[in-house]
Structure 1
Amino acid sequence: MGSLPTPSHEGTAYSRPSPAQAAADAIPILVDDTYHVFHLTTPPFTQHHPPRLRSCWSRIRSQNLVDWTRDSQPVLKPGARPSDPDADGVWTGAAVHGPDGNMNIFYTGYNLSQNGKQVILRTKSKDRHGAQFESQGTVIAIQGDMSQFEDIDFRDPYVFFNDAESRYWMLVATRLRNGPHWSRGCIALLTSSNLDDWTLDAEPLYSPNDMFCPECPELFTLPSSGKWYLVYSRFHAPNAGTVYRVADSPRGPFRVPRDGSNGRLDGRRWYAAKSCPRAGNPDQRLYFGWLGDFVDEQGKWLWGGDLGVPRQVSADSQGWLRVDMAPEYRHALREAAEPLEKVSGRGTLLLESSGSTRTSFPKLTADMEQDDLLITFNVQTKEAHSFGLLLQADESDKAFRLSIAANAHDSLCSVALMTDFPPLDDFWADQYQLHLPRPIDGPELVRHDGLDLEGGISVLLRARLVEVFGGGRSLSFRLPAPRADGGKTRRFGWFVEDGAVAFEEIAVHRIRPGQL
């Protein structure tokens, strides 16, 4: 499959299992001082449902978030018999330690012959680190009235021990059986004292009446804020991607944060992200999500792709969540990088325009146009309508944009990733014969408001993956292949629109192949 993206570094153990296989939903767990990141893996060279979703569970491990080892064999595989409840895929779940200290896995089984019915299965290990699990999971028994939920969507179990109630909790992504079709997605709650016997709560834990199904939910608290955070992923607008809600109690009510993010941790293309505590610091969580593959010739996004870089999430002084690149990974990038002094000047770039847009592009060699790059900069003077980075620009300066706009009444900014060519109205498309696909992600791919960019911005370009960090937010996307009629493409540049901006402390680093 020629258009399936390859890892940024050949042979890397973290990003994806192989060039022919994609990584999907992450299931992390901290065991002593080791991070175990289970994730779903697609069958080789598959693109669409159902073959691509006949997934298995893979595992990578690390003690420093930089050096990873991958298990040579899948941890879980689909059932061998057509009648097995997981015959057509072992889907998302959770890893948790039981009362005996040994690791358990709860996961979703998918079977097409049962009309796509999803059930929750459990498999156990005989040790704390999950060296080996039972070859076949067993369907859990649930006490309670299941009639309020649909048969199809009952999946993505998240299991943890809730100290506040001294019981194990299981969150399940599901849908109410009755109500408006497109907005009855909810999260069911099951509880247990021993992981064996599960009781369904009479009412859903969360039912906001605004989504189809809340995928990959999780729930945790941070001691520093005293708040509880419900995190899940939405595959449809508004605010698609991994989002969070906040409450004073594990039972809610869960409210949309008023922090300028609308609860988004990133955008649609950083998806199904889940977390585990940081070793030695319960006030921080480490998040792992994936950035989807894109088939250029079909113009379609695929389920699964590359794991995004590890991210650190913590609470600010108001209890809102903030996202940063994991410091260990950031440090490793700098250590493994080759500074490009002649490219960046490692100083200040002043751009000015009046009533127009001005651009500036560094001179990159052919190798630099392909290399993985880390670009960091601060913004000082910002008396302009908008400014920022151009990405994958053609000869006419048509480009994807990291667009920054300063608020008029304070020092905060709005930051957005923008498409390179917003769709036209039909009558203009008729005139210019430019009937472009109308992407759901567009023209704003990701947007965050109310950001304090005092700490600077970091942009990581891994092949066509873009991951931006600044102001406690992240913005991620996979750029499509440049259009054949676009002429020469430039990797990145700078722009200002109607005004003046000073980019300071600019540094561009080339990540040497094989270093990460």
Structure 2
Amino acid sequence: MSKLFFRPKDAYVGDFIPFYEDGEFKLFYLHGWRENYDDTKDIGWFLISTKNFLDFKELGACKIQGGTGSVLKKDGIYHMFYCEFTENMQTVCHAVSEDFEKWIKISEDSFGPEEAIYENTDWRDPHVFWNEDTEEYWMLIAARAKVLSNRKGCVGLCVSKDLKKWEAKAPIYAPNLHESAHECPDIFKLGDWWYLIYSGYTDKFATFYRMSKSSTGPWITPEVDTFDGRAFYAAKSGTDGSNLYIFGWNPTKTNNMFGWNPPAYCGSDYNTWDWGGNLIVHQLVQQADGILTVKVPDIIDKKFNQQVPQSFTPVIGPWSIDNNELEVSSMYSFSCALGGEMPKLCKLEGTFKYKPHTRALGIVLRADENVDKAYYFRLEPHRNRIVFRSHVMEYEEGGKTFPYEVELERPINLIPNKEYSFKIFIDDTICEFYIDDKVAFSTRIYDIKEGKWGVFVSEGEAAFKELFLKIM
């Protein structure tokens, strides 16, 4: 079980619904039992609370059996909006509570899509908030617009004065980009900017965001319009009044869903991504131009305060090494240096900079002595991206059978001779990579259980400094 990224025993988490009150985040989530389910167990919404994203109190099922939604408080009463699924339709539902524990469904408040505007196949994940600009409650809904194209995915809109009677309006955002409904929609205002968040699983699998100076749009797509990569999904925002966070989940990889794996392969790194996994919390920071960047929450970062001494050794290439400062000129070849063994729970950190014309550089994880098997975070300046590669890409059969060039990637604008910082948090199979406290990159590492960490350069020149391994 993970010590750093929450997952309940014998189950998995998805679609967090954050609510902050009395100095703690109360996080509803969808509880996935998978193979551990039987008819004696509760399903639907479960609740945990935390003050620090490290220690969690499990408060159990809240007896609401439905899909994702939102919670708000009005006049001392808590209001929960969620969705229920029937054979042919999805329905928005409303429940109330006086104590945040016992929830009572108000059946007469349930409603489906307005069929003149929306398809009846998708009508879920209601997000409700008071819009001060329009002086009414808004409900954003994961929906599909009634248009001729299959690219029907949109963020639907309903408005209300009393949280009971809702009027359907035209979608707040319908860009004709995705076939899928824009899942888990979310919206908030920070300074002069409104931010619209949604998740999609067609065309690209990610949590996206858009920006506008008005709650009604037009919605601008930033240059990097995602908070993380494929292994972070269905994220929704929450604030403690001082800091802004986004709560998503890192999926597991338990199934060979499409039968792509080689016959003799018995690991998990080849597997397809599941629904559900472990909680991941990123901290959001608004830049001067309104762009949102992502960093590890300060409280998690500071928890890793015990430094483990490291000694780096050249494995391949002509390295210059002085304690934890390493340099190499490897213009036409691959070079790698390794440090110490990696605990299952640890933080790796350091800085790097590279010279012009460098093709790639980065970090290796759980490497064997010859770096024949390892995981790689590979920065490619000529493509302005970070790539994650597992060991399966590096050997002959892996190169033949892997169906695409990279496993995961994130865009990043890389500049030669500029110093960058990195932080990597590892907890068993979960791996979270941050660069410059601005870029996040989530993944899983299953097959290689142990090994050393280090740095590499491929066809270029680079320097790495302040390389540390820390534990809690």
Give the structure-1-normalised TM-score. Answer: 0.79
Instruction: Say if 1:433 and 1:170 are closer, same or farther in 2 by CA, change over 3 A.
Output: closer
1:96 corresponds to: 72
Q: Provide the rounded CA distance (Å) in 1 between the counterparts of 2:399 and 2:207.
A: 33
Q: Which amino acid aligns with 2:173?
A: Y
Q: Provide the rounded CA distance (Å) in 1 between the counterparts of 2:142 and 2:112.
A: 17
Q: Provide the rounded CA distance (Å) in 1 between the counterparts of 2:439 and 2:325.
A: 24
Does the residue aligned with 1:328 lie in a helix, a strand or coil? helix
Structure 1 unaligned blocks of 5 or more: 1-6, 79-89, 483-487, 512-516
User: Alpha-carbon deviation of 1:454?
Assistant: 4.8
From 299, 314, 334, the counterpart of 1:357? 334
Q: Is the 1:142–1:200 contact (alpha carbons within 8 Å) kept by the matching residues of 2?
A: no
1:41 corresponds to: 31
Alignment of structure 1 residues 93-492 onto 2, 5 Å: 93-98=69-74, 100-111=75-86, 114-115=87-88, 117-127=89-99, 130-134=100-104, 136=105, 138=107, 140-141=109-110, 145-181=114-150, 183-201=151-169, 203-211=170-178, 212-223=180-191, 226-238=192-204, 240-258=205-223, 261=224, 263-279=225-241, 281=242, 284-295=243-254, 299-308=271-280, 310-334=281-305, 338-343=306-311, 347-364=324-341, 368=342, 370-383=343-356, 384-393=358-367, 397-406=372-381, 414-422=385-393, 436-438=401-403, 443-450=406-413, 454=419, 456-471=421-436, 472-482=438-448, 490-492=451-453
Q: Provide the rounded CA distance (Å) in 1 between the counterparts of 2:52 and 2:323.
A: 29
Q: Provide the rounded CA distance (Å) in 2 between the counterparts of 1:132 and 1:346.
A: 58
User: Alpha-carbon deviation of 1:177?
Assistant: 3.2
Q: Is the 1:108–1:121 contact (alpha carbons within 8 Å) kept by the matching residues of 2?
A: yes
Does the residue aligned with 2:412 lie in a helix, a strand or coil? strand
Q: Provide the rounded CA distance (Å) in 1 between the counterparts of 2:308 and 2:387.
A: 26
User: Alpha-carbon deviation of 1:311?
Assistant: 1.5
User: Alpha-carbon deviation of 1:347?
Assistant: 2.8
Q: Is the 2:344–2:450 contact (alpha carbons within 8 Å) kept by the matching residues of 1?
A: no
Q: Which amino acid aligns with 1:222?
A: L
Q: Which amino acid aligns with 2:413?
A: G
Q: Provide the rounded CA distance (Å) in 1 between the counterparts of 2:43 and 2:282.
A: 25
Q: Provide the rounded CA distance (Å) in 2 between the counterparts of 1:268 and 1:139.
A: 39
Q: Provide the rounded CA distance (Å) in 2 between the counterparts of 1:423 and 1:401.
A: 10
Instruction: Say if 1:55 and 1:232 are closer, same or farther in 2 by CA, change over 3 A.
Output: farther
Does residue 503 of structure 1 match 2:472? no
Does the residue aligned with 1:269 lie in a helix, a strand or coil? coil
Q: Deviations over 1:94-119 (max 9, x none)?
A: 01112x132111111123xx24x211
Q: Deviations over 1:409-437 (max 9, x none)?
A: xxxx643323444599xxxx9xx697525
Q: Provide the rounded CA distance (Å) in 1 between the counterparts of 2:367 and 2:185.
A: 37
Q: Provide the rounded CA distance (Å) in 1 between the counterparts of 2:139 and 2:118.
A: 16
* Greater fraction strand: 2
User: Alpha-carbon deviation of 1:493?
Assistant: 2.4
Does residue 75 of structure 1 match 2:46? no
Q: Which amino acid aligns with 2:15?
A: D
Q: Is the 1:218–1:231 contact (alpha carbons within 8 Å) kept by the matching residues of 2?
A: yes
Q: Which amino acid aligns with 2:174?
A: S
2:2 corresponds to: 8
Q: Provide the rounded CA distance (Å) in 2 between the counterparts of 1:297 and 1:502.
A: 40
Instruction: Say if 1:186 and 1:381 are closer, same or farther in 2 by CA, change over 3 A.
Output: closer
Does the residue aligned with 1:249 lie in a helix, a strand or coil? coil
Q: Which amino acid aligns with 2:253?
A: F
Q: What is the percent sequence identity of the aligned residues?
A: 25
User: Alpha-carbon deviation of 1:296?
Assistant: 5.5
Q: Is the 1:119–1:139 contact (alpha carbons within 8 Å) kept by the matching residues of 2?
A: no
Q: Provide the rounded CA distance (Å) in 2 between the counterparts of 1:137 and 1:444.
A: 46
Instruction: Say if 1:438 and 1:124 are closer, same or farther in 2 by CA, change over 3 A.
Output: same
Q: Deviations over 1:78-132 (max 9, x none)?
A: 3xxxxxxxxxxx111001112x132111111123xx24x21111110114xx132
Does the residue aligned with 2:310 lie in a helix, a strand or coil? helix
Q: Provide the rounded CA distance (Å) in 2 between the counterparts of 1:437 and 1:120.
A: 41
Structure 2 unaligned blocks of 5 or more: 258-270, 313-321
Instruction: Say if 1:455 and 1:38 are closer, same or farther in 2 by CA, change over 3 A.
Output: farther
C-alpha root-mean-square deviation of aligned residues, in Å?
2.9
Q: Provide the rounded CA distance (Å) in 2 between the counterparts of 1:150 and 1:286.
A: 32
Q: Is the 1:376–1:507 contact (alpha carbons within 8 Å) kept by the matching residues of 2?
A: yes
Q: Which moved more, 1:294-303 or 1:313-322?
A: 294-303
Does the residue aligned with 2:424 lie in a helix, a strand or coil? strand
Does the residue aligned with 1:342 lie in a helix, a strand or coil? coil
Q: Provide the rounded CA distance (Å) in 1 between the counterparts of 2:385 and 2:50.
A: 35
Q: Provide the rounded CA distance (Å) in 2 between the counterparts of 1:235 and 1:104.
A: 29
Number of matched residues? Answer: 442
User: Alpha-carbon deviation of 1:396?
Assistant: 5.5
Does the residue aligned with 2:218 lie in a helix, a strand or coil? coil
Does the residue aligned with 1:501 lie in a helix, a strand or coil? strand
Q: Provide the rounded CA distance (Å) in 2 between the counterparts of 1:59 and 1:277.
A: 18
Q: Which amino acid aligns with 2:8?
A: P
